[in-house]
Chains A and B, each alone.
Chain A
Amino acid sequence: MNKIVSKEHFSANVVKLEVEAPLIARSRKAGHFVIVKVGEKGERIPLTIAGADTEKGTITLVIQTVGGSSRKICDLNVGDYITDLVGPLGQATHVEKVGTVVCAGGGVGVAPLLPIVEAFHKAGNRVIVVLAARTKDLVILEEQMRANADEVIIMTDDGSYGAKGLVTNGVESVINREKVDMCVTIGPAVMMKFVSALTKKYEIPTVASLNTIMVDGTGMCGACRITVGGKTKFVCVDGPEFDAHQVDFDEMIMRLGAYRNIEKK
């Protein structure tokens, strides 16, 4: 099990893997994640499921190289095996018909956003996707998003593709022109913090999918704990999605840096 059946490079640092995992493919829903470990001495890291094919019995993972463990996964090739793969974990996205939903994604957060976009669109919502990247080469999954959304807005930091500006500029432009009933955001913690601050101003209910440090992913250790509405929550079992306006993003960003100095290369 866990054999890699296809591999695609989205950019120099971002890889899409399709992995054999029939049980997970069958039971996963939008918003779920898996824990992956490569090699005997490998680390357990969380990755959100970006898609699944129940007939082929595969799930899709999109991974960005940010350190030693993600590089190990990105270096795997077709025919290689992921040593350990467990899931689906976390609570699935709560999907219902709410009206107009803006889905704002940045970096590799765009990959786990895709199944959520699909699900909201299927549920009969008007779905507007805002994709943000530093530069044109880093924009991923644009076509797949277009196939599942009513509109896709691309934002790049340097203006090399789409409009110039940050994800928040794109989201605000939509808010300024039409009624938005809900916002979903996935991306770097700082990005989600600013999207959340923006939608709070307009009182638009917002869900963020949080990507904290995890070890087991089953609620056993609390490495992933964050403060939501003044209460400690475990992202792996209570989340990963939370009411963004209740999340203490500053604390979350601080905790993400816990192992910065001792992270293994």
Chain B
Amino acid sequence: MTTEEMIAARRAEPWREALRKSKKNKERADIPRVKMNELDPEYRSHTRLEEVNLGLTKEQAMQEAQRCLDCPNPTCMQGCPVSINIPTFIKNVERGEFLEAAKVLKETSALPAVCGRVCPQEKQCESKCIHLKMGKEAVAIGYLERFAADYERESGNISVPEIAEKKDIKIAVIGSGPAGLSFAGDMAKRGYDVTVFEALHEIGGVLKYGIPEFRLPNKIVDVEIDGLRKMGVHFFSNCIVGKTISYEDLHAEGFKGVFVASGAGLPNFMNIPGENLVGVMSSNEYLTRVNLMDAANPESDTPVLQGKKVAVIGGGNTAMDSVRTARRLGAERAIIVYRRSEDEMPARLEEVKHAKEEGVEFMTLHNPVEYIGDDKGCVKQMKLQRMQLGEPDASGRRSPVPVEGAIETIDVDEVIVSVGVSPNPLVPRAFEGLEVSRKGTIVVNEESMKSALGDVYAGGDIVRGGATVILAMGDGRRAAAAMDADLQSL
């Protein structure tokens, strides 16, 4: 059955037809989009561990689900990198079959509770919702995904996807971030014997060290990882492929395929004067200390600087996570410094809104040119160059150009540099014969995610540079499909 046929068959089920007929499209379209319940901004800007978004109630979810028109040709699905069967899960929410809805999510997504929280839906599934064409707000697909996944987790009735007959073929995954987990889930479902190797002491990659608790609680990530364990996936932490064990070792151990999902862990710096002063750090360092090492907790041995005047350089999700974390760790001034205007910011709209509500200052069209230190080498000020928008560059975004002579100096005691990441070089250096781009990404076939080494596939940030959780998961799915097909044809 093709995907189209499957969508049509599911849509034709009697319960679904009845549900569609129970309400006119006009009525459905007139229901206003649900508002997510969230913690009070003043309260939450001081609480480090509580999640800001509180999720939908059953009633809210069922009402929001009614807004979905159950389109015969659901364009929303084209906007989802892992092709979740969106109308099917939403209609299950509408009829109150929440566990059934969660099962539909798990058919194609290894981490629905994660994606419902961190995907930029406004650029993906929700950007393709039919409502937008009619001048209405999109169905809150992300909220509903989160609702169904949370409902299932809290019900204590977590389903384990059906596993194909065991194939007794060993597959190695390098890196336990979103790309690796998505790949591992898909391959386990196909019956492969999957082992995930992780360099850090915790499983989850950026979901653990990067995205903060107030946006994605670690215990939710752990439940989804446990789901993979129940599907038979093995996890091996504190093991660096390319260092602890080699590519050849994997062959000697009988692994028939390798999926490299080692991410873009290498933080970029701007190479401006004073960047190595004490108090200037990458957002990776800052977030790893706070999220992975729990450094703000007095019980933890890891220290973290808790500045009062904190500047975060950049406009992506990582910058928003850093600045909101700084606020929660006691910063009186927490400032986003971004060289373009707010329209060009790559961060999720919701994170920008939340940051503003929590008292974060935005200095857009500013770019640091120098950091100034005190006699102990600690940062005390930064020089900012005012920018204006010039002509569009190759990427289509208007490029920022300095306004001659417009330089201001502001006091800071901590600077967090969040200007992107580069691919981690460990695997490219250790695997002889891999084709690597000038930027250090692994070169793969875009369809199959297959690299120049026959048994090595790669996906996520090690292929894309810094991108998003859901794109990484989409890569994992495609690589799994391609590797499975290749191994079957042997």
Contacts and interface: CB of A to CB of B under 8 A. Distances in A.
A244 to B, nearest CB: 18
A254 B278 contact: yes
B293 A232 contact: no
Contacts of A237: 425-426
B281 A223 contact: yes
A258 B209 CA distance: 21
B299 to A, nearest CB: 5
Name B's interface SS. Answer: loop
Interface string A212-245: 0001101111110111000010000100000000
Contacts of B425: 219, 237
Interface string B18-35: 000000000000000000
Given A84-B238, A237-B425, A264-B303, A220 B265 contact: yes
B282 A68 contact: no
Interface string B265-308: 11101010001101101101100110001100101111111100
A24 interface: yes
B245 interface: yes
B301 A69 contact: yes
A221 B200 CA distance: 13
A254 B376 contact: yes
Given A27-B246, A84-B238, A254-B376, A221 B301 contact: no
Contacts of B376: 254, 257
B244 A264 contact: no
A255 B276 contact: yes
Interface stretch (A38-46, A99-107, A126-134): A38-46
A167 interface: no
A255 B376 CA distance: 10
Given A41-B301, A257-B376, A24 B244 contact: yes
A23 B301 contact: no
Given A215-B293, A218-B424, A88 B301 contact: no
B240 interface: yes
Contacts of A68: 301
A254 B280 CA distance: 13
Interface of A: 23-24, 27, 37, 39, 41-44, 68-69, 72, 83-89, 215-216, 218-223, 225-227, 232, 237, 251, 254-255, 257-259, 262-264
Given A23-B245, A83-B201, A220-B265, 7 more contacts: A27-B245, A39-B301, A86-B200, A215-B293, A220-B266, A220-B284, A259-B305
14 contacts: A23-B239, A41-B294, A41-B299, A68-B301, A84-B237, A86-B199, A88-B244, A215-B302, A220-B288, A222-B284, A237-B425, A251-B377, A262-B303, A264-B300
